[in-house]
Amino acid sequence: MTFDGTWKVDHNENYDKFMEQMGISMVKRKLAAHDNLKITIQHNGDKFHVKEISTFRTLEIDFTLGVTFEYSLADGTELSGSWILEGETLKGKFTRKDNGKELLTTRVICGDELVQVGIRIWVRLWLKLPVCHQ
């Protein structure tokens, strides 16, 4: 599967506006803009292992497609939700535990980029890193 590998955020479009709509404070939004996030994705069948490394934390997540799991954002926001795979698109549906706001997102590979799009019109583009930089 093409999602496997290490990806580094290259740039965001409307990400601050999205975070604002999700109820994330201005201070936390400013910090998130400089998180220097890298993710490593590995999968085996419908089981995924994702390692997130940022300026603020390192987190490893294991999940199974279609199965609800708990997740904590770097700012401490708790979410519950799941990912599904439709064709070559990963689709995520998550709900904030504190305010019930829903996050719908997709991830798809376009050339050498992992493109993550939120339903509230934000885009986060990731570049795949060569194996020697993982």
Confidence of residue 132 (pLDDT cuts 50, 70, 90): low
What's the whole-model pTM score?
A: 0.81
Q: Tens digit of pLDDT for each residue in 68-104?
A: 999 988 778 899 999 999 999 999 999 999 989 898 8
Contact 14, 122 (CB under 8 A): yes
The mean pLDDT of 110-121, rounded to a whole number, is: 82
Confidence (pLDDT) at 91: 96
Q: Are strands 58-64 and 69-72 parallel, antiparallel or unpaired?
A: unpaired
The total of other beta-carbon atoms located within 10 Å of residue 108's CB is 16
Q: Which domains does the chain have, with CATH numbers?
A: 5-129 (2.40.128.20)
